[in-house]
Each structure stands twice: as C-alpha cells, then as structure tokens.
Structure 1
C-alpha cells in the first residue's frame, strides 16, 4: 500500500510539472519599428539675388494710333525673406526697350521699377503678387512716374539658381506729345533667371 501511495504521489508530481511547462520564458521576438515617414522641407528663400530678364512689352496711349510694342529686357536685384510657407521681398528692375510709339515716332528707352512682392511657396516654387513704383523714359519727352501691379512664378532649379516668369501692368502720368497728354499704359511679360546668395 505504501508503494502504491508513493507511486501515485510521484505520478501526480510529474503530471503537475508537465502541465506547468518549461520554467524558462519563451524568447521574445524582436519588434521592428516602421521606418519614419520622410519629412518634406521646402527650400529657404531668404537672401539676396541678382539676375536678368527678357520679354515683350506692349505700350498704349490715350491718343489714337500712338502705341507700340517690342522687346524689353534688363537687370533685376533684390532681397527675399522666408516666413515659412510665405515669402516677402523687395527689389529693383531696370529694363531697356525696343519699343517705338507709332504716329509720333518716339522711342520708349527704359523702365525703372522699385517693387514689393509677397508669395506662397509651392514645393520648390514661389507663386507671388507684386506692385510698386515705376518710371519710364521716352525719347525727347523725358521721364514720367507711375505704378505697376502684377504676378509671377519663380522656381528653384538648384539651391542658388531660379527661373521664372512675370507679367506686369503699368500706368504712367501723362506724357505731353504735341501739347496733348498721352496717358500711356504698358503691359510686359518677361522670363527671368536669378542667382541667389
């Protein structure tokens, strides 16, 4: 009887151990974290720039048949400040023109602009509006002051080089021609390349 009790106790002990499982914990599988999503950073537009521009100008006046069109091109320089998604800046343009006013046979010689601009960043590009002071020099009639408004787009090709385009509408004070004020206005469309530093 003792032998039977001992055998029963040993069987119970072995069965309990079998149900208990292995004393060592199961190895943990390594946790692989997902790769972080790439963070897009737009370029920083803060800094000075210089460049050149070339395009087309169309000049109209309040006098019938006194108008003209032709090439316009010159230099541009300025400074932009990057505010995050927005960019603001100021600049100067000086353009020479190949525009002759028909009917009076006078050449529009050059246009100077002092401009402000503000725009919104689109990836590597900048869509902007611009406005400011303009001055036109017409052969023999002299200089006249005015203003301009317009819009443009500029795209960074590299960290320092950008290409863009700009359309501007100008209004000038009346230029006297034959005793009559001409009230000229001009529309320009230009492409531009700038070096930024």
Structure 2
C-alpha cells in the first residue's frame, strides 16, 4: 500500500508547486496597475479689487495770485432815480490783482480713468486796484477803487487720469462775489458794497503724494457780468452818480488736498 501512495503524494506536491509559480506569473501577465491618487482640491484665493485711489471726500487749501482784471471806469448822472443815459469815460480802468488764498471742500467719484465731482470753495485776499486823476474830470474821475472781498464758488470738476497718480481736469460752475467799489478820493470818497453772481471756468493738474495727500495747480477765470453801482448825492437820496462795474479776473493757485 505504501508504494502506491508515494506517486500520488508526489503528484500532489508537484501540482501545488506549479500553482504557486503560476499565480504570480498570471498577475504579472496583466501588467502593474498603480493605485489611483486623487489630486488635492486647490481653492483659488478670491480676487482682491483695489478701492479707487481718487474717490471720496476731501478738503483743500491754496495760495495764489489774481491778475488781468478789466473794469473800465465811467460815470453816469442819476436824477430822481433815473439815469441820464450818457456815460463819461475817465480814461482809466480798474484792473484788480493781488495775492489770494482759497479753502475748498469737495467729493469725487472714480469710474476707471475718469474722476469727477462737485467742489465748494471760497477765495479771499487782497485783490484790488485803484487810481487817482487829480487834474480835471468829475468827482468820480478824481479817483476810484475796486476791491474783491471774497468769492464763493460751487464748481463741478471732471478729468482723466494720465497715470494712477496724475489727474488732469477741467471745471465750470457758479460764482458769487462780494465787492467794494469806491469813487472819489480823500474826505469826499464814497464806498459801496455790492455783490454779483455769474460763472467760473478753469483747468488744473493734481498729483498724488500718497493715498491721502495730493498737490495741485489750478487756473480759474471769474466773470461777474455788469452791475450798476450807485453813489447817492446824500444819504437816502435817489440822485447822484453811478458806474457800471464789470469785475472779472484770472486766478492762478497752488495748493494741497487731503482726502478722507
């Protein structure tokens, strides 16, 4: 019995060995498949949009010089509140000029490279002119003086950015002026305060120093039309003389703005 079992055992051992060798070979026959590793999910940072550099409220101050005023002097007699209808020219003109200062409060919006908004400003200083003509002429043409006391303006400014730091702009608006006109000289001089409202035009360049501060240079042209200025012969009288005041001048100024 033992000799018959030996061949069976040997065959079984050989079969087991063959299976052991065949299984790895079968696995290799299909090729190696690496494990699938999912790529990590990367969350892109949200895009940061910078706030407009020029938008917002601001205050400013400036120093400047007024020049090239043009107010030709002439006199007209008035009797009983009625003008005579003829003007006697003096041959003189009052060309106001002098140093001035400005204060301003404004607000701006920015749309891409376009910057625009309103500005409220006040100008004041020693802007004036006077003359004396001792020989000949009437009381009026003996002398005269025109003074700009202050100007309040509501302007609209709009311009284009040449680059991120430099703004070139134009402006237009309404200007209210307070003036003093004097006729005659010495003890016989008469002064009358009057006001006029007309327009202002201009242009300028502004340059950012940092996010808050900027420097600017600006030109303004003020025109206040024509205003009859009456000088009564005595207090309360409706007779006397009058002139037509035509206050206008240019103003060049350099200043500093602070943006909130």
Q: TM-score, normalised by structure 1?
A: 0.75
Please report how far the alpha carbon of residue 53 of structure 1 lies from its aligned counterpart in structure 2 after TM superposition: 0.9
Q: Output the CA distance in 2 between the equivalents of 1:112 and 1:54.
A: 16
Unmatched runs of 5 consecutive residues or more in structure 1:
1-40
Candidates 156, 176, 180, aligned match of 1:116: 156
Q: Output the CA distance in 2 between the equivalents of 1:42 and 1:84.
A: 11
Unmatched runs of 5 consecutive residues or more in structure 2:
1-49, 74-91, 132-143, 181-191, 230-240
Which residue in the other structure is 2:214 paired with?
162
Which residue in the other structure is 1:80 paired with?
108
Candidates 148, 165, 170, aligned match of 1:129: 170
Checking the alignment, whether the CA contact within 8 Å between 1:101 and 1:108 is kept in structure 2 is no
Which residue in the other structure is 1:181 paired with?
244
Q: Output the CA distance in 2 between the equivalents of 1:159 and 1:190.
A: 22
1:44 aligned onto 2:53 = yes
Please report how far the alpha carbon of residue 43 of structure 1 lies from its aligned counterpart in structure 2 after TM superposition: 5.6
Which residue in the other structure is 1:69 paired with?
97
Checking the alignment, whether the CA contact within 8 Å between 2:96 and 2:146 is kept in structure 1 is no
Q: Output the CA distance in 2 between the equivalents of 1:129 and 1:66.
A: 29
Checking the alignment, whether the CA contact within 8 Å between 1:62 and 1:184 is kept in structure 2 is no
Which residue in the other structure is 1:105 paired with?
145
Q: How many residues align?
A: 157
Please report how far the alpha carbon of residue 42 of structure 1 lies from its aligned counterpart in structure 2 after TM superposition: 9.9
1:54 aligned onto 2:63 = yes
SS in 1 for 2:226: coil
Q: Output the CA distance in 2 between the equivalents of 1:144 and 1:46.
A: 33
Q: Output the CA distance in 2 between the equivalents of 1:61 and 1:118.
A: 31
Structure number with greater Rg is 2
Q: Output the CA distance in 2 between the equivalents of 1:113 and 1:172.
A: 12
1:143 aligned onto 2:156 = no
Instruction: Kindly report the root-mean-square deviation, in angstroms, between the aligned alpha carbons of the 2 structures.
Output: 1.7
Please report how far the alpha carbon of residue 180 of structure 1 lies from its aligned counterpart in structure 2 after TM superposition: 1.9
